[in-house]
A = this chain, B = another copy of it.
Amino acid sequence: MNTPKLRAAIVGSTGYGGVELIRLLASHPYVDVTSVISSSSAGSPIAEGFPHLTEIRADKLDDVDPALVSEKADVVFLATPHGVSMKLAPQYLEAGLKVIDLSGDFRLKNIEEYRQWYKHEPASQADVDRAVYGMCEIFGDEVEGQSFISNPGCFVTSAVLALYPAVKAGWIDPDSIIIDAKTGVSGAGRGLNLSSHFSEINENFKAYKINKHQHTPEIEQSLARAAGRPVAVTFTTHLVPMTRGIMSTIYASQQERRSAADFVELYRQFYEGRKFVRIRPNGQWPATKEVWGSNYCDIGFNVDERTGRVTVISVIDNLVKGAAGQAIQNLNLVMGWDETLGLQFTPVYP
């Protein structure tokens, strides 16, 4: 194309979400990253903290200043912690930028749920109302042409893509849903704490935030849209000694007995034409490595003939489909482009 490229700024470029946006956008045909931003490290070269970017990005980190950002960019990605995005997003919107926020600040439409689960003062209801929730394969139609997108959570993406069609079809009992989720360590970010310490995590497997994870109400918000009524799920998260990858192993009771093959068929129809959701053939379940480094969400099924329960296995790369990749997919939808633009990576295997 001969038209100038869209200029993108990335706030939070010293974190894993930000640096993954840099990696992925480097291959995007219609986007240029014109500003990498970090309030804490402004002024130092980004390759100093991330030497893998040596000779790839020579620029220094910019400050978060909205005036500056709006001069250099058309769209800004906020790869910032919750509590930070809620301050920055309105300023960038006011400065005329499109905003794609990767934090949890604008995902929950009920701000009381935010207060309760995040243990933090929510953004204003007005700001939350402006944000469009960008679960691409499900609510993607609502994204086109918008200027403020709230990008879904990593666990949420994995769980909702795996559950939405079955709940929508009324095939499973929403009250029976149990989501046993497992994540690689990069989901916890680059900050320092004992639960990301190599010697504590290597050769270890642990559960955390049992029935307390802040992604719970976000999962339920989407499932409620499918069910047409409130839904409460049981949701447990575990830490796997690996860097990337999320698996959700999901259990639910069926409303009436169907086979795994029936589920394969239902989901293939539901996700028809959506390239990033791959429904595995009956009898095959995905492993996290099979989507590593890519924007795919792979889903497989099993039905326990004895109890009638269905098991759904869903995997994503938490930093791609669970964060930076889906954010770019949302930008593609905002711009009316093919949603796969710049995202057609083959998973890295092995």
A125 within 8 A of B: no
CA distance A94 to B209 in the complex (A): 49
Chain A residue total in the interface (Cβ 8 A): 85
Which residues of A are at the interface with B, using a C-beta cutoff of 8 A?
Answer: 16, 19, 22-23, 26-27, 50-56, 175, 178, 180, 182, 184-186, 190, 192-194, 196-208, 210-211, 232-234, 236, 238, 240-245, 247, 249, 251, 275, 278, 280, 284-294, 298, 302-307, 309, 311, 313, 315, 344-350
- Asked if residues B204 and A185 are in contact (CB atoms below 8 Å), the reply is no
| A195 CB to nearest chain B CB (Å) | 9
Given that A192-B194, A238-B249, A349-B19 are contacting pairs, would A185 and B211 also be in contact in the complex, using a CB cutoff of 8 Å? no
| Contacting residues, chain B, for A206 (C-beta < 8 A) | 247, 285, 287-289
CA distance A311 to B289 in the complex (A): 28
CA distance A197 to B211 in the complex (A): 26
Given that A241-B202, A293-B348 are contacting pairs, would A280 and B236 also be in contact in the complex, using a CB cutoff of 8 Å? no
| A279 CB to nearest chain B CB (Å) | 9
| A273 CB to nearest chain B CB (Å) | 12
Given that A207-B313, A232-B307, A240-B240 are contacting pairs, would A200 and B350 also be in contact in the complex, using a CB cutoff of 8 Å? yes
Given that A182-B205, A198-B243, A241-B242 are contacting pairs, would A304 and B51 also be in contact in the complex, using a CB cutoff of 8 Å? no
| Contacting residues, chain B, for A210 (C-beta < 8 A) | 285, 302, 311, 313
Which of B54, B211, B242, B348 interacts with A202 by CB under 8 Å? B242
| A159 CB to nearest chain B CB (Å) | 14
| Contacting residues, chain B, for A203 (C-beta < 8 A) | 184, 202-203, 242-245, 289, 292
Mind listing 10 A-B residue pairs with CB under 8 Å? A54-B280, A180-B180, A185-B198, A192-B197, A202-B243, A203-B289, A204-B292, A210-B313, A234-B311, A240-B240
